[in-house]
Amino acid sequence: MSGFQLQHPKGRELTGGDLLAQSLKHLGVEVAFGLHGRHLEAFLMGCEVVDIRLVDTRHETVAVQAAEGYCRISTKPGVCFVTANRLGLLRNVQELYLMPFELPSLPLRARHQLFKLAEDCNIPIFNTSKHASFNPSSPMLSRKTAGVLAILPLVKVPRPDLVLLLGARTGMFLGGRSGAIIPDKDCKLVQVDCDGSEIGRSLPVDLGIVSDSEAFLSALNANFSSTHPTSVDK
């Protein structure tokens, strides 16, 4: 996280709660869901100073699910805070960890980088059937769900020789190990994931990259901009 100027509250000293709230604000947080507790007052007061909206919930599970839903719908960071029942929070966070965010749930800045890559290189974007709400500036780049790849041989269209698996996990929504969606022959597979244990979990990859999606896409676009690549044939 890059540095930023601290905002000193009026009428009181700067606290650790202010530092946390201002750090979250710098990361793009606009809303936080949770349960109020006296030990959280410094943080809650810090949120008020930087205009982070606080939404009170009645249970830790609700706070986690509200933050998740907000993140998925708005593509902005989802934040929750709790008081004493940390086990309930950890259980729900673990469930979310096992439920990967597919491409349409990428942060907004990562989406912009993805669309730039697709438009500059003239390559289509596919997503799993769980999430089908892509809206690139060029409709020609959006090819609906990845299941379309399975019917290419039937319509006598060549299958891809390179697949960039970005922020998605291999499983039944991508054909598993059948090779129906991600070709298992004559195709290079590049998998990018922030969790290194997911790379190559169910499919062998030709190149695995442990990285945040936005950081990877930004670096790739910067490299392409400096080398002036030619467009990829459709």
Going from N- to C-terminal start, the domains of the chain cover 16-97, 103-227
Where do the DSSP E strands lie in 60-151?
A: 79-81, 125-127, 142-145
CATH topology of domain 16-97: Rossmann fold (3.40.50)
Q: Which residue has the higher pLDDT, 177 or 19?
A: 19
Same fold, 16-97 and 103-227: yes
For residue 1, give both structure tokens. 């996280």
Q: What is the DSSP string of 88-111?
A: HHHHHHHHHHTS---GGGS-HHHH
DSSP 160-192: PSEEEEES---SGGGTTTSSSSS-SSS-EEEEE
Higher-pLDDT residue of 120, 135: 120
Identify the helix (H) or strand (E) that includes residue 21.
helix 16-26
- Is the pLDDT at 135 greater than 60, yes or no? no
CA distance linking residue 128 with residue 168, whole number of Å: 8
For residue 145, the Cα-to-chain-centroid distance in whole angstroms is 18
The strand pairing partners of 127, in sequence order, are: 145
CATH of 103-227, one of 3.40.50.1220, 3.40.50.720, 3.40.50.12500, 3.20.20.140: 3.40.50.1220
Does the structure show a pLDDT above 60 at 44? yes
Q: What is the mean pLDDT of the chain?
A: 79
